[in-house]
């Protein structure tokens, strides 16, 4: 019965993961679970949810930018078709940076037996920071150029 209750709690907590800071998630996972593998799993699932939130936010941002391009023709230099490849390149570069950075922290914390735990925490923190940045971009464009969506 306890695993079912814990699973339900975790599912409810994940539904609010977009609003919860990485530090709060790390504290919650550490307080909720005792075994390092369980904490890693908790952090990894939160990072996966944050990645899904990031993907959805990126999709909304570019949908809004296409609507802005159509509704505000005076923004002649806003060419979403030309921006998307640059965005893809930036996203790939960010992914490499995240992987390299987290590999460093994994190696550093392996000396004290917490490499996997630190990798999961690093990935969560990185994705949450990227999500915050993209969400701020989306909020800027929505506020500055409303399109009624």
Residue 149 covered by a domain: no
Residue 25 covered by a domain: yes
Residue 104 covered by a domain: yes
* Cβ atoms 50, 18 nearer than 8 A: yes
Domain extent at residue 7: 2-144
Residue 70 covered by a domain: yes
Residue 8 covered by a domain: yes
Q: What is the pLDDT of residues 26-62, one digit of tens each?
A: 999 999 999 999 999 999 999 999 999 999 999 999 9
Report pLDDT for 109: 95
Report pLDDT for 118: 96
- Structural domain count of the chain: 1
Report pLDDT for 16: 40
Report pLDDT for 18: 56
Report pLDDT for 19: 80
Report pLDDT for 120: 97
Report how far residue 127's alpha carbon sits from residue 55's, in angstroms, rounded to the nearest whole number: 10
CA distances from residue 35 to 10, 78, 114 in whole angstroms, order as listed: 16, 51, 12
Residue 40 covered by a domain: yes
Residue 126 covered by a domain: yes
Q: What is the mean pLDDT of each run of 10 residues along the chain (149 residues)?
A: 37 50 95 95 97 97 96 90 95 98 96 95 97 96 90
Residue 32 covered by a domain: yes
């Amino acid at each position: 019965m306890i695993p079912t209750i814990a699973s339900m709690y975790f599912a409810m907590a994940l539904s609010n993961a977009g609003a919860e800071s990485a530090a709060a998630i790390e504290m919650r996972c550490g307080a909720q679970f005792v075994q390092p593998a369980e904490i890693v799993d908790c952090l990894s699932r939160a990072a996966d949810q944050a990645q899904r939130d990031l993907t959805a936010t990126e999709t909304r941002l570019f949908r809004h930018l296409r609507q802005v391009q159509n509704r505000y023709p005076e923004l002649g230099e806003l060419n979403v078709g030309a921006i998307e490849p640059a965005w893809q390149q930036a996203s790939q570069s960010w992914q490499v940076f995240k992987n390299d950075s987290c590999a460093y922290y994994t190696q550093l914390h392996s000396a004290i037996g917490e490499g996997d735990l630190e990798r999961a925490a690093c990935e969560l923190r990185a994705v949450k920071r990227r999500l915050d940045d993209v969400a701020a971009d989306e909020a800027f464009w929505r506020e500055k150029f409303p399109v009624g969506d």
